[in-house]
Amino acid sequence: MTCENDLRQYAPATQRNRDSILETLVSVLPPVGNILEIASGTGEHAVYFASKLQNYQWIPSEPDAMRRKSIDAWQKFCYSPNCQSSLNIDVLNSTWTEGLKNLKIIAIVNINMIHISPWKACLGLIEGAGNLLPSGGILYLYGPYKQGGKHTAPSNQLFDESLSLQNKAWGVRNLEDVIKISQQQGLKFMKIVNMPVNNLSVVLKKN
CB proximity list for 100: less than 8 A, separation 6 or greater: 36, 132
Whether residue 157 lies inside any domain: the answer is: yes
Domain, as residue range, for 166: 13-206
* pLDDT tens string 42-75: 999 999 999 999 999 999 999 999 999 999 999 9
Domain tally, the chain: 1
Whether residue 179 lies inside any domain: the answer is: yes
What is the pLDDT averaged over residues 105-114?
98
Residue 12 burial class via C-beta count within 10 angstroms: exposed 0-12, middle 13-18, buried 19 and up = exposed
Whether residue 8 lies inside any domain: the answer is: no
Whether residue 7 lies inside any domain: the answer is: no
Task: With H, G, I as helix, E, B as strand and everything else as coil, classify residue 52.
Answer: helix
Cα dist. 127→24, 52, 81, 92, 113 in Å?
23, 29, 30, 11, 15
Alpha-carbon torsion angle 7, 8, 11, 16, nearest 10: 180
Whether residue 83 lies inside any domain: the answer is: yes
What is the pLDDT averaged over residues 6-20?
92
- Report the predicted TM-score, pTM, of the whole model to 2 decimal places: 0.95
Whether residue 147 lies inside any domain: the answer is: yes
* pLDDT tens string 161-204: 999 999 999 999 999 999 999 999 999 999 999 999 999 999 99
Whether residue 55 lies inside any domain: the answer is: yes
For residue 37, which of 51, 27, 47, 28 has the smallest C-alpha distance?
Answer: 47
The domain that contains 19 carries what CATH number? 3.40.50.150
Whether residue 144 lies inside any domain: the answer is: yes
